Chain A
Amino acid sequence: MNTFDIVIEICGSAGEGTISAGEILARFMSSQGYEIMSFDSYPAEIRGFGKCVAHTRVNLNPIYSPGKYADVLIALNDKHAISQLGFLKPDGILIYDNQPASFHEEDQSVAGMAEPGVTLYGIPLTQLAHEAAGNSRGRNMVSLGAMACLMEIPKDDFVTAIQNRYASKKQIIIDNNIDSFVLGYNWTGENIKKIDEYSFKGTEPAPPEDKLIINGNQSVARAAIDSNISFYAGYPITPATKIMEIMGKELPKTGGIMLQTEDEISAIGAVIGAGFGGKRAMTATSGPGFSLMTEFTGLAVMSEIPAVIVNSMRGGPCTGLPTKTEQSDFNIAVAGGHGDAPRIVLAPVDTTDCYEATALAFYLAEKYQTLVVLLLDFFLSNSIRNIDVPKPINPSFLSANIAPEPDQLNGYQRYRITGSGISPRTIPGTPDGMYFSTGLEHDENGRPAYDSDTHEKMTRKRFVKHGNALDEAPDVVISGDDGDLDIGVISWGSSAGAAREAVDAARAEGIKAASFSSIMISPFPEEKLKVFADRCNTLLVPELNFTGQFADFIINFLQRPVVKLNFVTGLPMASEDILEKMRELR
Chain B
Amino acid sequence: MASNDHYVIAGNGPAGNAALNTLRKNDPESRITIISDESVGFYSKPRLCSYISGRIEEDELFIHEDLSFDNTRLRLGQHIQSIDPDQKIIFLSHMEKINYTKLIIASGSKPSPSPYMTQFMPYLKSITDFHEAKTHKQCIHDAQQFLVLGGDLVGFKFIDMLISMGKAATLILYPQAFWPFVLDSDMVDRITASLEPKGIRIMVNDRIQSIQDADGGYQVATLNHARNEIEEHYCDQVFAFSGMTPNIDFACKKGFDIDHGILVNEYLRTRFQDVYACGSCAQIFNPILKVYQTTIGWTNAETQGEIAALNLLGANQVTRLAPQKYFDLEGVKIKTSWWDDTDENPNPDGDF
Residues B96 and A111 in contact, CB atoms below 8 Å apart: yes
Residues A116 and B95 in contact, CB atoms below 8 Å apart: no
Picked from B41, B93, B97, B131, the residue with its CB within 8 Å of the CB of A122 is B93
Picked from B74, B78, B91, B98, the residue with its CB within 8 Å of the CB of A120 is B78
B126 at the interface (CB under 8 A from A): no
Q: Give min CB distance, A124 to chain B, whole Å.
A: 10
Residues A117 and B39 in contact, CB atoms below 8 Å apart: yes
> Chain A contacts of B77 at CB under 8 A?
114, 116, 118-120
Distance of A213 Cα from B39 Cα, bound (Å): 38
Residues A104 and B41 in contact, CB atoms below 8 Å apart: no
**CB-contacts of A227-243 with B (<8 A):** none
Residues B96 and A122 in contact, CB atoms below 8 Å apart: no
Q: Would you mind naming 18 contact pairs between A and B with Cβ atoms under 8 Å apart?
A: A98-B93, A98-B94, A102-B95, A103-B91, A105-B97, A106-B96, A106-B97, A107-B96, A108-B96, A111-B92, A114-B77, A116-B39, A116-B40, A116-B75, A116-B76, A117-B76, A118-B39, A119-B77
**CB-contacts of B95-134 with A (<8 A):** 95-99, 131
State whether A106 and B39 are in contact (beta carbons under 8 Å apart), knowing that A98-B93, A112-B92, A120-B78 are contacts in the complex: no
Distance of A460 Cα from B72 Cα, bound (Å): 69
Distance of A105 Cα from B95 Cα, bound (Å): 9
Besides A112-B75, A116-B76, 10 other CB < 8 A contacts?
Answer: A96-B94, A98-B93, A103-B91, A103-B95, A106-B98, A107-B96, A109-B92, A112-B96, A118-B77, A120-B78
Residues B76 and A104 in contact, CB atoms below 8 Å apart: no
Residues B97 and A104 in contact, CB atoms below 8 Å apart: yes
Residues B131 and A195 in contact, CB atoms below 8 Å apart: yes
**CB-contacts of A171-204 with B (<8 A):** 195
Q: Give min CB distance, A88 to chain B, whole Å.
A: 13
Contact-size category for B = 10 to 19
Distance of A195 Cα from B77 Cα, bound (Å): 11
A438 at the interface (CB under 8 A from B): no
Contact-size category for A = 20 to 34
> Chain A contacts of B78 at CB under 8 A?
111-112, 120
Residues A122 and B94 in contact, CB atoms below 8 Å apart: yes
Chain B residue at minimal CB-CB distance from A110? B94
Picked from A104, A119, A195, the residue with its CB within 8 Å of the CB of B96 is A104
**CB-contacts of A69-116 with B (<8 A):** 96, 98-100, 102-109, 111-112, 114, 116
Q: Give min CB distance, B344 to chain A, whole Å.
A: 39
Residues B131 and A98 in contact, CB atoms below 8 Å apart: no
Q: Closest 7 A-B residue pairs measured CB to CB?
A: A109-B96, A111-B94, A116-B76, A112-B96, A120-B77, A104-B96, A103-B97
Q: Give min CB distance, A192 to chain B, whole Å.
A: 13
Picked from A104, A114, A119, the residue with its CB within 8 Å of the CB of B95 is A104
Q: Give min CB distance, B43 to chain A, whole Å.
A: 12
Q: Give min CB distance, A126 to chain B, whole Å.
A: 11
> Chain A contacts of B93 at CB under 8 A?
98, 122
Residues A116 and B74 in contact, CB atoms below 8 Å apart: yes
Q: Give min CB distance, A106 to chain B, whole Å.
A: 5
Distance of A122 Cα from B75 Cα, bound (Å): 15
Q: Give min CB distance, B111 to chain A, whole Å.
A: 14
Residues B41 and A109 in contact, CB atoms below 8 Å apart: no
Distance of A103 Cα from B92 Cα, bound (Å): 9
> Chain B contacts of A109 at CB under 8 A?
92, 94-96
Chain B, 31-52, contact with A by CB distance < 8 Å: what is the 0/1 string?
0000000011100000000000
> Chain B contacts of A104 at CB under 8 A?
95-97
Distance of A111 Cα from B96 Cα, bound (Å): 9
Chain A residue at minimal CB-CB distance from B67? A116
Chain B residue at minimal CB-CB distance from A99? B95
Q: Give min CB distance, B69 to chain A, whole Å.
A: 14
Distance of A122 Cα from B98 Cα, bound (Å): 18
Distance of A158 Cα from B39 Cα, bound (Å): 30
Residues A106 and B99 in contact, CB atoms below 8 Å apart: yes
Distance of A106 Cα from B95 Cα, bound (Å): 10
Chain A residue at minimal CB-CB distance from B12? A116
Residues A120 and B39 in contact, CB atoms below 8 Å apart: yes
> Chain B contacts of A117 at CB under 8 A?
39-40, 76
Chain A residue at minimal CB-CB distance from B98? A106
> Chain B contacts of A96 at CB under 8 A?
94
**CB-contacts of A397-455 with B (<8 A):** none
Q: Give min CB distance, B122 to chain A, whole Å.
A: 12
> Chain B contacts of A111 at CB under 8 A?
78, 92, 94, 96
Residues A195 and B94 in contact, CB atoms below 8 Å apart: no
> Chain A contacts of B40 at CB under 8 A?
116-117
Distance of A119 Cα from B96 Cα, bound (Å): 17
Residues B94 and A120 in contact, CB atoms below 8 Å apart: yes
Distance of A254 Cα from B42 Cα, bound (Å): 68
> Chain B contacts of A108 at CB under 8 A?
96
State whether A98 and B76 are in contact (beta carbons under 8 Å apart), knowing that A116-B41, A117-B39, A195-B39 are contacts in the complex: no
Residues A103 and B96 in contact, CB atoms below 8 Å apart: yes
Distance of A55 Cα from B74 Cα, bound (Å): 28
> Chain B contacts of A195 at CB under 8 A?
39, 131, 135
Chain A residue at minimal CB-CB distance from B75? A112
**CB-contacts of B17-69 with A (<8 A):** 39-41
Chain B, 168-199, contact with A by CB distance < 8 Å: what is the 0/1 string?
00000000000000000000000000000000
Residues A112 and B94 in contact, CB atoms below 8 Å apart: yes
> Chain B contacts of A105 at CB under 8 A?
96-97
Distance of A430 Cα from B91 Cα, bound (Å): 82
**CB-contacts of A358-376 with B (<8 A):** none
> Chain B contacts of A102 at CB under 8 A?
95
Most buried by A among B41, B91, B97: B97
Q: Give min CB distance, A139 to chain B, whole Å.
A: 15
Most buried by A among B41, B76, B131: B76
> Chain A contacts of B74 at CB under 8 A?
116
Distance of A114 Cα from B96 Cα, bound (Å): 13
Distance of A96 Cα from B131 Cα, bound (Å): 21
Chain A residue at minimal CB-CB distance from B92? A112
> Chain B contacts of A99 at CB under 8 A?
95
State whether A100 and B95 are in contact (beta carbons under 8 Å apart), knowing that A116-B74, A116-B76, A120-B77 are contacts in the complex: yes
Distance of A122 Cα from B95 Cα, bound (Å): 10
> Chain B contacts of A120 at CB under 8 A?
39, 77-78, 94
Most buried by B among A104, A111, A118: A111
Distance of A70 Cα from B192 Cα, bound (Å): 53
Most buried by A among B76, B77, B91, B98: B77
Q: Give min CB distance, A191 to chain B, whole Å.
A: 13
Most buried by A among B40, B76, B78, B94: B94
Q: Give min CB distance, A159 to chain B, whole Å.
A: 27
Distance of A116 Cα from B42 Cα, bound (Å): 11
Chain B, 308-350, contact with A by CB distance < 8 Å: what is the 0/1 string?
0000000000000000000000000000000000000000000
Chain A, 245-266, contact with B by CB distance < 8 Å: what is the 0/1 string?
0000000000000000000000
Distance of A105 Cα from B98 Cα, bound (Å): 7
Distance of A108 Cα from B95 Cα, bound (Å): 10
Chain B residue at minimal CB-CB distance from A116? B76
Distance of A280 Cα from B278 Cα, bound (Å): 80
Q: Give min CB distance, A96 to chain B, whole Å.
A: 7
Chain B residue at minimal CB-CB distance from A109? B96
Chain B, 188-221, contact with A by CB distance < 8 Å: what is the 0/1 string?
0000000000000000000000000000000000
**CB-contacts of B76-97 with A (<8 A):** 76-78, 91-97
Q: Give min CB distance, A383 to chain B, whole Å.
A: 32
**CB-contacts of A379-405 with B (<8 A):** none
Q: Give min CB distance, B76 to chain A, whole Å.
A: 4
**CB-contacts of B261-289 with A (<8 A):** none
Chain A residue at minimal CB-CB distance from B132? A195
> Chain A contacts of B98 at CB under 8 A?
106, 112
> Chain A contacts of B131 at CB under 8 A?
195
Chain B residue at minimal CB-CB distance from A98? B94
Chain B residue at minimal CB-CB distance from A196? B39
Distance of A96 Cα from B94 Cα, bound (Å): 8
